Structure 1
Amino acid sequence: METTPLSGPKALGAFLRTQRENTPPALLGMPVTARRRTRGLRREEVAQLSGISTTWYTWIEQGRDITVSAQTLSNIATALKMKPAERHYLFRLALQNDPLDEPVPLVEEAVLAAVNQVSGPCYLLDLTWNMLAWNPQAQALFSGWLDKDAQPNMMRFMFLHPLAQQLVLDWETRASRIVAELRADAMHYPHDEALNLFVEQMTQESASFRGFWQRQQVIAREGGERLFQHEQQGRVAYRQVSWQLASNRTLKMIMLLPEATD
């Protein structure tokens, strides 16, 4: 298997190790005793639950260049109670197709209707979170950055611009989440030079980014409430809706629909 910073046996092993260590035995109905020293599950426990030998599972975690079947990966994902985004990420790392893949769900009519109703901030991001286009409402929301940066990048803003932690409420949660989203998106383009370089640069330039990246978390892009403390507008709340272009999945459009604040 070809290796890059975003794929290959080592990346697969590191992800599985993190998932195993973060899976509490109680989640699987296993008794927790005072004698237990291992954080999370033991390798032999995952191997037994997955129907493979401890040696084989250990080799996978060690990042050895071996061929792991899709069914074995499926069994491991089930044993570790992986969430859909984590499971998808696992199979992307291994360059395998998930045997349990489900059809893409239909888009809700309410979401489709929102396209013609957006009056709040809206902007377009590429694979490395460069801001390709934005409307006046977005520029007003991110005033002090978006109106001054000649080549604005949302990820760099969040981790390297002093305004970010003042503007974005619950900054740590949001920052952690967008790094997990970047890791999930990256698996579609593990050999993209620009993407690999971007991750390397961010890791070097921001200790916070580096810490979040090392958590090996993957999260699917989702909507939800977004809160800001704006210097002129005060506390403002939005409902985020994200779209990925069917013709170019490297592009994503973010729309912030105004919501009433308490």
Structure 2
Amino acid sequence: MRHDSADSSETTLDATPARALGDFIRAHRERLSPQEVGLPPGPRRRTPGLRREEVAQLCGVSPTWYTWIEQGRPVSASADALARIAVALRLSRAERAYLFELAAQRDPAEPDPTAADAPATLLQTVQLVNAPAYVLDRQWTALAWNEPAADLFTGWLDGDHDRNLLRFTFTEPLGRELIVDWETRARRLAAEFRADSIRHLSDAPTRTLIDSLIASSDEFARFWASQDVFEREGGRREFHHPRHGRIAYDQITFKPAHREDLKLVVLVRL
């Protein structure tokens, strides 16, 4: 009869998040040599890479705390401590992002999207698409759109209107007229925004938007209070257009690499 070793449980897919975080940190510690981080090689080593005590020294944390992190114990790891670990282990940008995702923390070095311009190439992309296409910022305000999008979204992307998708949906009569099965779509939209905005709910622009929508729309206030959370999905979207009648599209949403606060939305005619 075959007996698995006691260590086999360490690599199971149902490992806890804390265990996955510890495994990731340990693997990257073992890849580094003392010389790579400016430490003397010291006596002969039994294990590859840096010692735990050396990483703890580089991070300015206690060896015991660092050991517990690697062992997957349920200890608190602040964003600042994780940032120091990322620097000490020489993690790449992708590796650092993965580290913070594993720890369910926000990287303090992550650029503030509100202070950064949207990539020009992303804004130009909508003009290369023949179907309705637009770019949304983190508050779901349109930053760029093409003519097919302006033609489709009357009252939002045509003329001189407020460019926020949520305000258009919940406070503009034209939004209710344009969107087929408005209540179902609006409820879904509020739940998707709750999920999408969780990392910046305390930011002033997001908080101001939510507060203004709660004050100006009874439906938004009700949907928001329900605490529903849905991942933003594509799929069928139907409209009652004032000139084109009832039309249907398949919606696809893309998130640019390194700027996941932005969205490129394309609607393909069915």
State the TM-score, normalizing by the size of structure 1.
0.54
Instruction: Please say if residues 127 and 145 of structure 2, whose CA atoms lie closer than 8 Å, have aligned partners that are also in contact.
Output: no
Instruction: Please say if residues 119 and 257 of structure 1, whose CA atoms lie closer than 8 Å, have aligned partners that are also in contact.
Output: no
User: What are the Cα deviations for residues 42-100 of structure 1, in whole angstroms up to 9, with x where unaligned?
Assistant: xxxxxxxxxxxxxxxxxxxxxxxxxxx69xxxxxxxxxxxxxxxxxxxxxxxx9639xx
Establish whether residue 225 from structure 1 lines up as the match of residue 236 from structure 2: yes
RMSD between aligned residues: 2.4
Where in structure 2 are the equivalents of 1:1-262 lying within 5 Å? Answer: 97=104, 118-259=129-270
Segments of structure 1 that go 5 or more residues without pairing to the other structure are 1-68, 71-94, 99-114
In 2, distance between residues paired with 1:194 and 1:116?
28
Q: Tell me, what secondary structure is at the counterpart of 2:211? A: helix
Instruction: Please say if residues 138 and 261 of structure 2, whose CA atoms lie closer than 8 Å, have aligned partners that are also in contact.
Output: yes
In 2, distance between residues paired with 1:196 and 1:254?
24
User: Cα distance, 1:117 vs. partner?
Assistant: 8.9
User: What are the Cα deviations for residues 99-154 of structure 1, in whole angstroms up to 9, with x where unaligned?
Assistant: xxxxxxxxxxxxxxxx9994211011111111111000000001244222344111
Q: Tell me, what secondary structure is at the counterpart of 2:257? A: coil
Bigger RCO of structures 1 and 2 (CA < 8 A, at least 6 apart): 1
Instruction: Please say if residues 130 and 152 of structure 1, whose CA atoms lie closer than 8 Å, have aligned partners that are also in contact.
Output: yes
Give identity over the alignment, percent.
Answer: 41
State the TM-score, normalizing by the size of structure 2.
0.52
In 2, distance between residues paired with 1:122 and 1:240?
10
If you compute each CA radius of gyration, which structure gives the higher value, 1 or 2? 2
Q: For this pair of structures, how many residues does the alignment match?
A: 151
User: What are the Cα deviations for residues 14-55 of structure 1, in whole angstroms up to 9, with x where unaligned?
Assistant: xxxxxxxxxxxxxxxxxxxxxxxxxxxxxxxxxxxxxxxxxx
Tell me the amino acid that sits aligned with residue 172 of structure 1.
Answer: E
In 1, distance between residues paired with 2:135 and 2:128?
17
Segments of structure 2 that go 5 or more residues without pairing to the other structure are 1-73, 76-101, 106-125
Tell me the amino acid that sits aligned with residue 193 of structure 1.
Answer: A
